[in-house]
Amino acid sequence: MKNPYTPYPVKIDEIDIATEDKSLKTFKFVFLNKADEDNFSYKAGQFAELSIPGVGEIPIGIASSPIEKGFVKFTVFKTGVVTSHLHKMKTGDVMGIRGPLGNGFPWDRLEGKNIVIIGGGFAFTTLRSSIVYMLDPANRNRFKNIDVVYGARSPGMLLYRDELFEWEKRDDIHMNITVDGTDDPDWKYNTGFVPAVVEAKIPEADADTFAIVCGPPIMIKFTQPALKSLGYQDSQIIMSLENRMKCGIGMCGRCNIGRELVCKDGPVFTLEELNLTPGEF
Amino acid sequence: MNTITKNIQELAVSLLRDKTVDIVIGFKSGTVPMSSVPFVAKTTEQARTFIWDTHCRLNLANYLTGRKEKIGIIAKGCDSRNIANHIIENKISREQLHIIGVPCSGMVDKVKIASEFTEEIIEYTEQPDSFVVKTASQTKTLLKKDYLRANCSTCMHPNPVIYDQLAADRVTEPLIENQFADVNRIEALSRDEKWQHFDDLLQDCIRCYACRNACPLCYCPTCFVDESDPQWVGKGTDTTDIRTFHFLRAYHCAGRCTDCGACVEACPMDINVRDFTRKLNKDVFDMYGWEAGLDIKNRPPLDTFNPDDPDEFIK
Amino acid sequence: MEIIKIKKSDWAGGIDKSRKTYHLFGPVKHKNHHIFRQLENNIYPDMEYMSSVLSPKSVLFPQSQKILVTSADASGKACHIFTPPEQDHTPRAVIGIRPCDAKAVQLVKLNFDTKEYQDPYWCSAFEATTFVGLAVNTPSVLDFSTSAGSGPFAQEGLDVLLVDCKDHYLAKILSQKGKEFLNTAGFNEKEDPKAADQVIQQMKISAEKAICSVIQTQHLKKKTVLELYEAPFWEDIAFSCISCGTCAYVCPTCWCFDIQDETQGKTAVRFRNWDTCMPALFTRHSSGHNPRGEKIQRVRQRFMHKLKYFDDKYDQGIMCIGCGRCVEKCPVNIDIRDICNLMNAYKPEKESDAGEIKGEIK
């Protein structure tokens, strides 16, 4: 019997400070055993438990992409006991990763479709994974147009800035980077909240378009009417939720929304599915 | 229907009818013998379901914390002392409350009653000084005074200390000669015997926190046992963690505990949690002549500074 | 079907014999009540017990259980690489479990033994366990098992059903595991199965008749989650709740747990503890956001989970077997029977209130 609680041992290979306020760091892990890396085969939108023995575990979306081999990456916001401890760890330290967990984005359903990616703040991690995955030459022609709106408080709070600006230059993805505000006179992208940029820049829905929305509750709340006004049906809006979790495998009981277990049945749901639940997220 | 029940219902109905209050908090009948349920009435119809009997053991002051409405509340002696505590500690204002005081002749101990029978109790009916208990094969009449809860049998403040109206005549306040006999007994034990006593006492604790949650004093937004940063106490069943919880909770109640017994009443494992709080009640009484919640002017000794403090450490 | 007769005079001897192969668990009188625990060599299960204050779920799911350990000694090689602690797979037998409590194990199994993941601790304990049930001849007034998918003589989840017939037990063998246990104990006096079963049937009928408490569940399934969720009665139900964990901890079907890490000397330990959906902490995010921050939401969660979500998810009836423990032990007498009946009978006032789809995300 495989023990789903046992993490794969990993070593911290690289730590990048991800935002100007240093509240987010990107950790690159390499597996101590090659076989574990093969077993940790994931799709974009899945998450894993980062496991620090003696401290605890924390569920974090996988920021690296399935096409990136030899490592996994997570961008972690410093907030509780485990994440604070993780932020103090150094390259070379050994810890654990348990996963991949959750359903991930519905890639079968998304194939051949226009994809709209809407992200806010530090919920961009699995979206980064998805974009890298879709832009991979082996995958790009499996999707039609890709439109992205990504917003943060300020330019320095945008994650993966180098990549964002690279993607800006490409013509096979339409980037709409935005910040709530900035005093940088050289800022050449958008200023304004995500929902407003969505309404202004995102194409109207047709039957072949899906929108993937990840962000803080307030952004999600106001993005939804924006999408609605563009003709998106609830079945075309895909969201990734973040309820409090412990086990990550659907057993410990705390992340449920109605009968759905966010860790196992989710974290990705369509708005249509969520409408049938009590909405406790 | 007993007279107190009738009076409570009438007073509650009129408070709601003339809109003196928005809600009234009291007790309604439980669904199993020897139980009652804290209940909030918003309509006069609901107020007619209030009851009063010797199973109204819980402390209704527990339901006041942070409420914003104008509240009518049924209060026996100990509830009223905890209401006084709540007022002193700014958890509720006196102006928000209309207190229907109930002079109390003591609540009975359902565990003690059940232990008289080998079969399960299927019916319980109350008479003024006695009660009739029925099991599958026998019916027995027992005297209330023989089955009072331990805290009720040493209670010297059965009359509400603050109230707006009374639902019954005041009762005689007994003078208990040796009110801390139980604590003295434990104090007299040897070190090893004491260890054994408390070891045995907490053996069954399942850390459900019913004792804490039934206690009107335990209103901290985050209890120290629930803190994760720093984590003061482990969350498993390690005896050290279990003891730490009970010790610290008791200390946090020192000078505030009215010995209402809600903690013991709530415990599903029948642990006499009062063994901890009683010792501190005794100490506070011996050192400061203090009993908690007797008025709404004086703060408990452990949150006041007094230049005449008999202890040296603070000077 | 085989039915064995066990003379009560032979009972203790058989129990002793079985100890050589099995770790035994059973009801034992402790202070004011009965508890289920492992039976040391000179301890016998109290077969006269009525109910145990805590359910026997702890035999498979202890309140606190180590799940992973590792060295926290940075000088060592395996430092911070978690591995499961060694587990004891010695066969165990739970003697005298009430039929409804055995059914509860089957419901809990749906959570721990799934298509995608198997909880190795629970599943291996389950594999190792033989359930020797004791039929309830005199049900408690709080027993509502017959209307909760079980009953005083129910067999689901049992390997042997013992029926107390005054000077002897009739032991109905229900599985190979059960047969092996009785063999090991040396109980092999075969009864005429037809006659013995008739005796059992008669006793079953009278025990079921003695149950005076019932719940109604027939309409729950066809009601929508949202109509029940938005029903007006939750506020009144929730008022008295003090958000303790009593109901969940005494419940044989509640399985929620917490995972905690501790460092003990140079060893880091991860263990799991029973948890409960009643306190706000259960679902509070580290940001402070809480999807069930209000008491009414948590009380509703408990009963919706047991009586609606569970059946919607697994199609196995409600997640309650009618043992009556929570009814008896809840400090404020919140009664699942009343709530179940309320939910079952509930009809929203306006049709449009009922299935109204929530278009807005909170």
Q: Domains plus CATH for chain A?
A: 8-100 (2.40.30.10), 107-240 (3.40.50.80)
The more confident residue out of B309 and B12 is B12
Are A274 and C361 within 8 A, CB to CB?
yes
Q: Please indicate whether, in this complex, the C-beta atoms of C31 and B40 are within 8 angstroms of each other.
A: no
For A33, name the nearest residue in chain C, comparing CA atoms only. Answer: C81
pLDDT less than 50: residues of chain C: 352-362
Distance from C-alpha of C139 to C-alpha of C135, rounded to nearest angstrom: 10
Interface predicted TM-score (ipTM) of this complex, two decimals: 0.94
Q: Which residues contact C332 (CB under 8 A, 6 or more apart)?
A: B37, B38, B58, C240, C241, C242
3-state secondary structure of A98: strand
Q: Pick from C73, C251, C286 the residue to mutate for testing the A interface (most A CBs within 10 Å).
A: C286
Among partner residues C123, C225, C301, which is closest to A276 by beta-carbon distance? C225
Please compute the mean of the pLDDT values over residues B164-183 and round it to a whole number: 94
Residue type, C269: V
Question: What rounded mean pLDDT belongs to chain B?
Answer: 94
Check CB contact of B228 with chain A, cutoff 8 Å. Answer: yes
Q: Do A252 and C70 touch (CB under 8 A)?
A: no
Residue A128 has pLDDT above 90, yes or no: yes
Look at residues B59, B34, B57 and name the one whose alpha carbon lies nearest to residue B214. B59
Distance to chain C for B37, nearest Cα, Å: 5
Inform me whether the pLDDT recorded for B107 exceeds 50.
yes
B13-72 pLDDT, tens digit per residue, is: 999 999 999 999 999 999 999 999 999 999 999 999 999 999 999 999 999 998 999 999
Taking residues B100-126, report their average pLDDT: 95
pLDDT recorded at residue B315 = 57
In this prediction, residue B302 carries a pLDDT of 86
| pLDDT band of A156, cuts 50, 70, 90 | very high
Q: What is the mean pLDDT of residues A64-93?
A: 96
pLDDT band at B2 (very low <50, low <70, confident <90, very high): very high
Q: What is the pTM of this model?
A: 0.94
For position C358, what pLDDT does the model report?
A: 42
Predicted confidence band at A262 (pLDDT cuts at 50, 70, 90)? very high
Residues of chain C positioned with their CB less than 8 A from the CB of B236:
63-64, 260, 262, 271, 273
Domain range list for chain C: 2-54+86-210, 225-266+273-354
At residue A229, what are phi and psi to the nearest 5 degrees?
-65, -20
Instruction: Identify the residue whose tokens are 């609540």.
Output: B107
* A79 in B contact zone (CB under 8 Å): no
Measured CA distances, C136 to B88, C208, C211, C252, C323 (Å): 53, 9, 11, 17, 11
Minimal Cβ distance to C229: which of A224, A278, A281: A278
Task: Give percent of chain C above pLDDT 90.
Answer: 90
d(CA B68, CA B48): 24
Contact C82 A275 (CB under 8 A): no
Three-state DSSP state, C210: helix
Q: Are A243 and A254 in contact (CB under 8 A)?
A: yes
Report the alpha-carbon distance of residue A101 to residue A48 in Å, rounded: 5
Q: Is C256 on the interface with A (CB under 8 A)?
A: yes
Neighbours of C180 (CB within 10 A): 17
* pLDDT tens for each residue of B176-212: 989 999 999 999 999 999 999 999 999 999 999 999 9
Mean pLDDT value across residues A155-179: 95
Q: Which residues in chain A touch residue C305, judged by CB atoms under 8 angstroms apart?
A: 256
pLDDT computed for residue C354 by the predictor:
44
The residue of chain A with its CA nearest to that of B230 is A81
Chain A contact present for B227, CB below 8 A: no
How far apart are alpha carbons C125 and B106 in whole angstroms? 48
Please determine, for residue B310, whether its predicted confidence score (pLDDT) is greater than 80.
Answer: no
Q: How far apart are CA A275 and CA C32, in angstroms?
A: 49
Check whether B305 has a pLDDT greater than 90. no
pLDDT at C350: 66
